[in-house]
């Protein structure tokens, strides 16, 4: 069964009565809006409010807000500039409903559209059909075409967002100069068997002419309970937007342009009643549109409708948008004129600010530039020097410079450090704190200058003074000595003695310069480093200290492999570390105590944990993190499973003699067990650094005391 419903849309009735223009254009009884839609003249509500009664619309107040109609179709918007009107039009549909297992009913709804004074836009619309067994037809009095779409299943249809090329939907363009169309169906396109099969997953098909790019295909449009009709919300469920071209068609085309006093005048027509307006031929079909002249904006169909554009005010209100549209070069000032604007050059310049060359300086640019540069340079140098002095003084006072200077600590200026390091030309190390540069004091003593590159919270002055005082006064053979500091920067720069051979990390792990280390040398390095940390932890006075960044990279070696613990960048007073749970350590995460990470509390036992990792590096010659493996985790696991960590020991320590190898293995086992104790999760089970020193000395004594080991006394 087929039902065919025809909807007739008269867009504007051709009326022979020519009403005066003023009757609609300026009549206060003619509303300028209907609901949310503007109604620009020549359109109006009723014949008396439209141009010659030929562009009449109606406003339906039964809706809230009211809706604007042309004929039986709702108007979405009207554009004077492009000569376009967008309306809502009906969707044609065809649905198959089964009656029983062998028969069914096909219900078809076809729609047509016929307009006068309007044309269906060929460039802004397209014909679309949706379905899985569909042949939709589009025809007019002089045109006939169709669109086929099919899909054997929903899974075989186009994907959501794909172009409509025939799998679930199809689209085709329409020709120009159409004033009537009808969207219908070919009921004999497929047999009943195909309809029954497709009905199970796509019972309905839809077809319509609508605005280009309005429709995006979705597979759910083919499904019964998610049909295409549900796309349109709570308004008329079967309507889609269509773009119409309108023009003043009663007077034919624009008259030709005329030549007056050698200048070509813009053509005008009867509908273009505003001054500073002209007509242009319609882009589709016969007729014309009215436009405001260049430099004017508004409604050219209304007397006085085209008003001057104030380009200068627009430039001020929205520079990003209008400065390119209305250029006015630097060195000029914008002045508005009727239909245009001028850019007058400022004092001392000449030319045209709107031109390509703009406003040029009257005086030679080079002379002005030289004088201006000299004055600005002198002032800038003075300001920079003054600001730098103020900043340096601020940092000097903030960092306790007066107090430290009175205590006899060597204070360097920022300029002195630049000279000492030859403007930081020789970097010798880098860490989380920043970089270390080599320098020379008095052309003799070589030093290391630590220059921070990271920002952090600055210690209160009293705490910082105590920290620097501690580092300056502490004296131990196995600790890098602080020679002085510079307090004229945000984070003070520190000057240390230079230790020539580099870090233990490089000696152990550098691939470029592998250094063979005997067991005695490794013990000497371990004992010296441990003694330095024990000395720091038990330093005489009211407060003990922690290092905060113990690792092989911070244990430096001189030419005879004497270790010196360095990098006190993370060192803080124990009392401060214990008092503030958020006290932050900027250390290598491979060495940081897990208990500190969990609790935020850093103690001497946190240094013990880090030193345990260093001990493992010494006996295995593996980095704390190698590949995806963690040395502490692997070693502890090996000790639990096999009772020792022998399969991880560095084989270079072993001697060829079996008795020596056996003795070395026992010593390594004791060092490994000591390292495991240092890594205990319960900090109370970890030894102190003093206990670590004593146990390492016992290991050394065992290795040196047994003559069978034949360890050289010089190494012991």
DSSP of 269-300, one letter per residue? -TT--SSSEEEEE-SSSS-EEEEEPTTEEE-T
Residues β-bridged to residue 429: 436
Query: Nearest CA to 132 among 110, 109, 155, 161?
Result: 155
List the strands of the sheet with 204-211, edge to edge.
Answer: 104-109, 92-98, 204-211, 125-130, 169-172
Distance of alpha carbon 94 from alpha carbon 175, whole angstroms? 25
When pLDDT is cut at 50, 70 and 90, the band that residue 705 belongs to is: low
Residue numbering of the annotated binding site for ATP = 450
The H helix count followed by the E strand count for the chain is: 16, 40
Looking at per-residue confidence, does 573 or 34 come out higher? 34
Return the top range by mean pLDDT from 285-294, 371-380, 383-392, 567-576: 285-294
Asked if residues 125 and 211 have their Cβ atoms less than 8 Å apart, the reply is yes
Q: Burial-class residue 288 by CB neighbours within 10 Å (0-12, 13-18, 19+).
A: buried
Q: What is residue 603's predicted lDDT score, i.e. its pLDDT?
A: 87
Chain position carrying tokens 């930081």:
424
Band of pLDDT at residue 57, cut at 50, 70 and 90: very high
d(CA 111, CA 93): 9
| Residues 656 and 710 sit within 8 Å (Cβ to Cβ) | no
Confidence (pTM)? 0.49
Rounded-to-integer distance, Cα 168 and Cα 175, Å = 24
**Strand partners of residue 494:** 450, 485
pLDDT at 435: 85
Task: With a cut of 50, say whether residue 14 has pLDDT above it.
Answer: no
pLDDT at site 24: 52
Kind of pairing between the strands at 44-45 and 56-60: parallel
Our measurement of the distance from residue 33's CA atom to the centroid of its chain's CA atoms, rounded to an integer in Å, reads 43
Cα→Cα distances 337→307, 340, 341, 661, 673, Å: 12, 5, 5, 102, 93
DSSP 407-433: TT--EE-HHHHHHHTTTTT-EEEE-SS
| Other CB atoms within 10 Å distance of the CB of residue 641 | 9
DSSP class of 128:
E
Phi, psi of 85 (to 5 degrees): -135, 130
pLDDT of 527 over the 90 cut: yes
Is 516's pLDDT higher than 60?
Answer: yes
| More confident call, 631 vs 101 | 631
Interatomic CA distance for residues 658 and 415, integer angstroms? 61
**What is residue 60's three-state secondary structure?**
strand
Mean pLDDT for 314-343 is: 92
- For 394-398, the CB contacts below 8 A with 24+ separation are 395/487, 395/488, 395/489, 395/490, 395/492, 396/487, 396/488, 398/458, 398/461
> How many Å is the maximal CA-CA distance in the chain?
132
Mean pLDDT of the chain: 83
Q: Tokens 């922690």 sit at which residue?
A: 546
Q: What is the mean pLDDT of residues 327-342?
A: 92
- Which helix (H) or strand (E) is 594 found in, with range? helix 594-599
Write down the pLDDT at residue 373: 86
DSSP at 653: G
Dist CA 118 CA 14 (whole Å)? 11
For residue 541, the number of C-alpha atoms closer than 13 Å in the C-beta half-sphere is: 16
What was the pLDDT predicted at 107?
Answer: 79
The string of DSSP letters for 468-537 reads: HHHHHH---TTBPPEEEEE-SSSS-EEEEEPPTT-BHHHHHH-SSS-----HHHHHHHHHHHHHHHHHHH
CB 105 within 8 A of CB 96: yes
Task: Inform me whether the pLDDT recorded for 574 exceeds 80.
Answer: no
pLDDT of 2 > 70? The answer is no
Compute CA distances 373 → 182, 363, 386, 548, whole Å.
76, 16, 19, 51
pLDDT in tens, 549-561: 899 988 999 988 9
Average pLDDT over residues 326-343: 92
Task: Tell me what percent of the residues of the chain surpass a pLDDT of 90.
Answer: 40
Give the 3-state secondary structure of residue 651: helix
Residue 23 pLDDT grade (very low, low, confident, very high; cuts 50, 70, 90): very low
Structure tokens at 185: 């169906």
Distance CA 41, CA 51 (A): 7
Judge whether residue 665 has pLDDT over 90: no
Which residues are within 8 A (CB) of 86 and not within 5 positions of it... i.e. 6 or more apart? 75, 76, 77, 78, 211, 241, 242, 243, 244
- Residue 454's pLDDT is 57
N residues, the chain: 716
Q: What are the structure tokens assigned to 13, written together? A: 């009735």
Catalytic residue ranges: 549
Question: Tens digits of per-residue pLDDT, 485-508?
Answer: 888 888 888 888 898 888 899 888
405's tokens: 């200077």
Rg of the chain over all Cα atoms, to the nearest angstrom: 45
4: cis peptide before it, omega within 30°? no
DSSP 256: P
Report, as an integer, the average pLDDT of 575-593: 57
239-246 and 44-45 beta bridge pairing = unpaired
208 strand-pairing partners: 128
Please indicate whether residue 49 or residue 443 has the higher confidence score (pLDDT). Answer: 49
Model confidence over 159-179: pLDDT tens digits? Answer: 999 999 999 999 999 998 888
Sheet of 133-140: strand order equals 111-114, 180-185, 133-140, 143-150
Nearby residues of 441 by Cβ (< 8 Å), 6 or more positions away: 420, 447, 483
Within 10 angstroms of residue 605's Cβ, the number of other Cβ atoms is 22
% residues pLDDT > 70 (the chain): 84
Q: 89 and 112 in contact (C-beta within 8 Å)?
A: no
pLDDT at 444 over 50: yes
CA distances to 12, 170, 248, 281, 365 from 139, in Å: 22, 16, 26, 28, 71
**pLDDT tens, 590-644?**
889 999 888 888 889 999 999 999 999 999 999 999 888 899 999 999 999 888 8
Model confidence pLDDT, tens digit, residues 198-241: 888 888 889 999 999 999 999 988 886 556 655 654 455 568 99
| 3-state SS class at 241 | strand
Residue-wise pLDDT tens digits, 112-142: 888 878 999 999 999 999 999 889 999 998 8
- d(Cα 593, Cα 602) in Å, to the nearest integer? 8
Mean pLDDT of 566-577: 51
């Amino acid at each position: 069964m087929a039902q065919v419903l025809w909807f007739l849309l008269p867009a504007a009735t051709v009326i022979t009565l020519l009403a005066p223009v003023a009757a609609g254009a300026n009549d206060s009884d003619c509303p300028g809006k209907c609901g949310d839609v503007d109604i620009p003249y020549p359109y109006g509500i009723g014949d008396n409010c439209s141009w010659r009664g030929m562009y009449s619309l109606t406003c339906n107040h039964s809706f809230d807000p009211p809706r604007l109609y042309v004929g039986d179709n709702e108007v979405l918007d009207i554009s004077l500039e492009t000569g376009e009107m967008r309306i809502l039009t009906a969707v044609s549909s065809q649905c198959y409903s089964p009656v029983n297992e062998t028969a069914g009913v096909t219900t078809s709804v076809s729609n047509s559209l016929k307009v006068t004074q309007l044309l269906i836009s060929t460039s802004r619309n397209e014909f679309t059909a949706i379905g899985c067994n569909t042949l939709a037809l589009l025809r007019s009095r002089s045109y006939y075409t169709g669109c086929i779409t099919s899909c054997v299943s929903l899974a075989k249809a186009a994907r959501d967002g794909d172009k409509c090329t025939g799998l679930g939907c199809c689209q085709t363009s329409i020709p120009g100069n159409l004033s009537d169309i009808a969207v219908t169906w070919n009921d004999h396109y497929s047999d009943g068997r195909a309809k029954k099969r497709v009905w199970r997953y796509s019972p309905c098909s839809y077809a319509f002419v609508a605005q280009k790019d309005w429709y995006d295909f979705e597979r759910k449009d083919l499904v019964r309970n998610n049909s295409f009709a549900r796309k349109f919300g709570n308004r008329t469920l079967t309507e889609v937007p269509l773009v119409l071209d309108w023009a003043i068609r009663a007077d034919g085309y624009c008259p030709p342009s005329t030549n007056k006093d050698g200048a070509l005048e813009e053509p005008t027509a009867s509908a273009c009643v505003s001054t500073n307006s002209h007509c242009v031929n319609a882009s589709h079909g016969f007729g014309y549109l009215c436009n405001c002249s260049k430099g004017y904006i508004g409604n050219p169909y209304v007397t006085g409708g085209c008003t001057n554009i104030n380009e200068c005010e627009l430039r001020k209100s929205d520079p990003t948008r209008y400065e390119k549209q209305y250029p006015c070069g630097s060195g000029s000032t914008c002045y508005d004129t009727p239909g245009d604007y001028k850019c007058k050059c400022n004092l001392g310049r000449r030319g045209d600010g709107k031109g390509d060359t703009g406003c040029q300086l009257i005086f030679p640019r080079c002379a002005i530039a030289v004088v201006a540069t000299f004055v600005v340079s002198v002032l800038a140098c003075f300001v920079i020097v003054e600001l730098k002095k103020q900043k340096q003084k601020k940092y000097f006072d903030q960092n306790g410079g007066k107090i430290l200077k009175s205590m006899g600590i060597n204070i360097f200026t920022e300029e002195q450090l630049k000279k000492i390091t030859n403007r930081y030309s020789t970097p010798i190390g880098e860490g989380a704190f920043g970089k270390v540069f080599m320098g020379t004091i008095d052309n003799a003593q070589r030093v290391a200058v630590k220059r921070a590159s990271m920002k952090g919270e600055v210690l209160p002055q009293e705490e910082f003074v105590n920290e620097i005082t501690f580092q300056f006064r502490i004296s131990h053979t196995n600790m890098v000595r602080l020679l002085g500091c510079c307090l004229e920067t945000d984070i003070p720069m520190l000057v240390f003695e230079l230790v020539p051979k580099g870090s233990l990390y490089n000696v152990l792990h550098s691939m470029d310069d592998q250094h063979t280390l005997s067991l005695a040398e490794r013990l000497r390095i371990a004992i010296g480093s441990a003694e330095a940390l024990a000395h720091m932890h038990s330093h005489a006075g009211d407060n003990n200290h922690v290092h905060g960044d113990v690792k092989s990279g911070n244990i430096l070696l001189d030419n005879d492999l004497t270790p010196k613990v360095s990098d006190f960048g993370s060192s803080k007073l124990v009392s401060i570390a214990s008092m503030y749970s958020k006290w932050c350590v900027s250390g290598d995460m491979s060495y940081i105590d897990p208990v500190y990470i969990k609790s935020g509390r850093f103690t001497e036992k946190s240094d013990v944990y880090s030193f345990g990792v260093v001990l493992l590096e010494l006996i295995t010659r593996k980095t704390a993190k190698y590949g995806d493996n963690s040395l502490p985790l692997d070693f502890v696991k090996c000790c639990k499973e096999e009772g020792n960590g022998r399969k991880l020991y560095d084989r270079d320590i072993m001697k060829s003699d079996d008795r020596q190898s056996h003795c070395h293995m026992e010593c390594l086992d004791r060092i490994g067990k000591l390292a495991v104790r240092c890594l205990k999760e319960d900090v109370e089970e970890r030894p102190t650094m003093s206990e670590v020193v004593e146990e390492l000395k016992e290991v050394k004594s065992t290795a040196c005391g047994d003559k069978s080991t034949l360890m050289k006394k010089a190494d012991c």
